[in-house]
Structure 1
Amino acid sequence: MSRQNVENRQIFATALLPTVSTIVAASTGASVATVLPDSQARITIVISYILLGMGLPISVLLMANYSYRLILFKLPQPAFISSTFITIGPCGQSAYAILKLSSDVNMLISKTGLVPFTGVRDEQAARLAGIALQTVSIPMALFIWGFGVLWFFFAVISFADTWAAKKIPLNLSLWACTFPIGTLALSAQELGKEMDSTGMKVVGTILMMLLLIIWLLLFPVTLYFSVIKDSWFTSPCLSEVGGQPPSFEEVDFIKNRKY
């Protein structure tokens, strides 16, 4: 939502960043719940599910809007092409959060004997509910992970096509591909663990190695251009025109505000 007029061609994958934060918080809560006392773990799991519900549906809506923008208009400018990887993040992180939360629920069942999300103590019913939750969570996580793989292939093809057609300027936006690939690798490893699938574990390992290679390539380049050359801490959009940001004297903020 904005007070300004936004055209479809101005929509970028960076619009997903606020929603990704709630999904990350949900997966973090799922990880923290494993070491908390039972009463606190239950509250953490419930809040994590709520956060996941706040982030994932909105992310899907934004991805639909972003797809619409890509269909009608060309790919983002070379300086922003790395942003196409951001769409992987909500999918990979959501898949991990779903699997981790179902694992946490089953852990609580084994400790307390309570039926999930109720105060009813019935060990047999609780075990059945835990099995049902895990049975539903794994296909759901696979479904979302597969959607992330689709965006991964699209991002790689888009990046390669832009690289072949035009020179991609070196800037900090290149780091946009690291976190999304990491979430895809993390969820693949968790799927391999829950499904006892060697294939998924291998896929997760390959993605982690890819992430490590990208990180090892970007880190020294970033260090060189940011510390030694002092030329990276500028907006990527300015690199398209080779300009500098306007000074305060050149901008009348009052007249340019749109409400």
Structure 2
Amino acid sequence: MTSTADFIVAIPARHAASRLPGKPLRRIGEDPLVLHVARRALAAGARQVVVATDDARIAEALAGQPVTVCMTDPDLASGSDRIAACADQLGWDEATVVVNLQGDEPFAPPEGIRAVAELLEDAGTEMATLAAPFTDTETLFDPNAVKVVADAQGHALYFSRAPIPWHRDRMAQDQLSPLEPGWLRHIGIYAYRVGFLRRFTALPPARLERLEALEQLRVLEAGYRIAVAPTPVAFPPGVDTPADLERAERHWLEIAAAAPI
């Protein structure tokens, strides 16, 4: 892929998460989760890192960091809407490449963040994202683990919470182990240009989006293309629940223990 140095990372960070209220401020080690995410974005080489939030406490948690905080309306429906509001407030040019990094990804690898920005430039599509093979059947059938199917050119055909594609013979015989590479887990990181972000967020929620509760389906249903490529490095799971937070804390302690003194 082409090396891309000129991109912005925008991190939506809403305080009122339903499964883990106050999630951006929950601690991993000594620091709030949102600060961990921001540091990952800074390590990726973005020319600007923006946290799009609806709560002054999140802004306060980032005080003194080389991060731009953009205050947005708490009633905005999605992270993409929040980033679009920041684009207007901060006067981003239509051609600016923005990586939407979810605010619950404290261990997002910088290489993966850069890779999705590079993919957008190389693919020439309206949007870009990453995927990785599933490694276990439990996660394959977990509706919180989103699946993606792509065509031969690497363009997304569909995203679903269901296990797609449905392998008729192996599913019928319950012979899923070992898993084949054909099942791909969607990694919820996106890249798009500001001009497309504005067009996308101006569209009404689509039928498929409402059914699956996946906003990227609005893009496909409107006839736009999303490039999908394998992530160059693993993305550890994000933080959605109290159990996820406990797992993230253990992972952080393992990282700290392995760090050179």
TM-score, normalised via structure 2 length: 0.25
Larger radius of gyration: 1
TM-score, normalised via structure 1 length: 0.25
More helix by share: 1
